[in-house]
Structures are given as C-alpha cells and as structure tokens.
Amino acid sequence: FGPRHIRAESSLLRAYNGGTRAAPFESLMVADIGDINVNLYDLKKSCKMIRNSFKEIVSTGCIPLTLGGDHTITYPILQTMAEKYGPVGLVHIDAHSDTSDIVLGEKICHGTPFRRCVDEGLLDCKRVVQIGLRGSTYEPDGYLWSREQ
C-alpha cells in the first residue's frame, strides 16, 4: 500500500522548492506511470512480470525512480537496469539490509534481494548506500557480509 500513499502525498508538492528555487518539473520530464501488475500468489511470476514491465519502461529512455512496494521488487528492477546499463548504484532506505542468503527456505524473497543482486553483479557496491539500518539480526554481526562487499 506504500505506493498508493506516496502518490497521494506527492500530489501536494508545489512546482518550486523555496529554499533552492529549483523547479524540477520545468527541467525534467517527470511522470507517474502507475503501479506494475503482479501476481499476488506467485512471487517468481511477479518477478518476471516486473522485469518485463521495466524492460518496456527503460527501452523508452526513461530512468525510473521506484518508490514503495515489497522489498522483493528491487531484485527484478535491478536485473533490468543492469542489463541495460551494467552494474548500478543504489540508495536504499529501510530498517533492514535485505542481504540474507535464505529466508524461510527461499532465496528470492523480501529479505534477500540485495544478496541476489550482489551475487549476480547487478550492483556497483561502491555506489550503494543503505539508510536507516537498525534493529535485531539473526547473527552476532548481521552486517558483516555487507561490509565485506
């Protein structure tokens, strides 16, 4: 439900930033292209649907800024972006690093997308920033693997 609320709040944005006097809608082509269809009962099929949708989006020259949704969606999005541009940078805002190898027996799920992305060479780890990490982990040093990358 995050995207719906982000969309509702962003409708309150004004055309100018008073502090910087920037007018992003005058210098950039910005559009809300809506939600991507997914299959709520099949995560692997959803990943394929997301990849196909983003292939169509980036084929137009659009550089997507994606906000909200289940954490898993980042994996097929980054697969598509890296296919076109090579390893990409990332700003990830979340309480969890989402770098587990396996969660509840699954390699692809909400807690594993960035491990899969690193394993597949989709991310330029020198250009990855994770903001807001906190909370408990399953290991004594839950961020060791991330730091080693």
State yes or no: pLDDT of 1 exceeds 70.
Answer: no
Distance CA 117, CA 77 (A): 10
Convert the pLDDT of each residue in 86-102 to its tens digit: 999 999 999 999 999 99
Residue 123 phi, psi dihedral angles, 5° rounding: -110, 140
Angle at 66 between CA 57 and CA 7, to 5 degrees: 110
Helical ranges in the chain per DSSP H = 2-10, 24-27, 43-59, 74-85, 113-119, 144-148
- Written as six digits, the tokens of 65 are 């800024």
What's the pLDDT score for residue 120?
98
How many helices and strands, by DSSP H and E, does the chain display?
A: 6, 2
Place of tokens 């899969």: 116
Domain 33-148 has CATH 3.10.20.30: no
pLDDT digits (tens, 9 = 90+) for 63-89: 888 887 888 999 999 999 999 999 999
The closest of 73, 97, 87 to 126, measured between CA atoms, is: 87
Band of pLDDT at residue 14, cut at 50, 70 and 90 = confident
Determine contact, residues 115/99, Cβ cutoff 8 Å: yes
What are the domain boundaries of the chain?
33-148
**DSSP code, position 88:** E
Alpha carbon distance 21, 26 (integer Å): 12
Q: Is 126 helix (H, G, I), strand (E, B) or coil?
A: strand
